[in-house]
Amino acid sequence: MTSEYTDLFRPFAFHNGLTLRNRVIANHTKRPFALGYRISPEEREDGGYRMPDICALVDGLIAENIDYLHVSLNDVLGARPLGADTRLTVEHIIAHVDERVPVLAAGMLRTAAQAQAALGLGLSLIAVGKGLVMNPDWMALAESGCGAQIRQELDLSERKELLLPEGLWQAIEAAPGWIPTIEVDRKPTNVPSR
- What single string gives the DSSP state of each residue in 88-135? -HHHHHHHHHTTSS-EEEESS--SHHHHHHHHHTT-SEEE--HHHHH-
The answer for residues whose C-beta is within 8 angstroms of residue 61's C-beta and 6 or more apart is 18, 37, 39, 69
CA distances from 119 to 48, 54, 55, 99, 106 (A): 28, 21, 21, 14, 11
Domain ends where: 108, 143, 163? 108
Residues 12 and 71 in one domain: yes
10 part of a folded domain: yes
Give the domain range for residue 9: 3-108
Residue of 48, 129, 133 whose CA lies nearest to 82: 48
86 part of a folded domain: yes
CB 49 within 8 A of CB 43: yes
Residues 18 and 86 in one domain: yes
91 part of a folded domain: yes
pLDDT at 6 over 70: no
The pLDDT of residue 80 is 93
Query: Angle at Cα 100 formed by Cα 15 and Cα 1, nearest 5°?
Result: 20
Residues 147 and 189 in one domain: yes
Q: What does the mean pLDDT of the chain come to?
A: 86
Q: Which residue has the higher pLDDT, 83 or 68?
A: 68
Q: What average pLDDT does the segment 73-84 reach?
A: 90
43 part of a folded domain: yes
144 part of a folded domain: yes
Work out the number of other CB atoms within 10 angstroms of the CB of residue 48: 11
Residues 51 and 146 in one domain: no
127 part of a folded domain: no
At 125, the pLDDT band (50, 70, 90 cuts) reads very high
Q: What average pLDDT does the segment 140-161 reach?
A: 92
Q: What average pLDDT does the segment 170-187 reach?
A: 84
Per-residue pLDDT tens digits for 98-117 = 999 999 999 999 999 999 99
Residues 101 and 148 in one domain: no
- Give bridge partners of residue 38 from the DSSP assignment: 70
Residues 95 and 146 in one domain: no
129 part of a folded domain: no
Distance of CA 57 to the CA centre of its chain: 18
8 part of a folded domain: yes
The pLDDT of residue 127 is 97
The pLDDT of residue 193 is 47
- Give bridge partners of residue 72 from the DSSP assignment: 106
Domain ends where: 108, 123, 155? 108
The answer for residues whose C-beta is within 8 angstroms of residue 171's C-beta and 6 or more apart is 178
Work out the number of other CB atoms within 10 angstroms of the CB of residue 41: 22
Residues 77 and 23 in one domain: yes
The pLDDT of residue 194 is 45
Per-residue pLDDT tens digits for 30-73 = 888 999 999 998 777 887 788 998 999 999 999 989 999 999 99
Per-residue pLDDT tens digits for 10-35 = 555 555 677 777 788 888 888 889 99
Residues 66 and 104 in one domain: yes
At 84, the pLDDT band (50, 70, 90 cuts) reads low
Residues 91 and 35 in one domain: yes
3-state class (DSSP) for residue 20: helix
Residues 101 and 178 in one domain: no
The number of domains in the chain is: 2
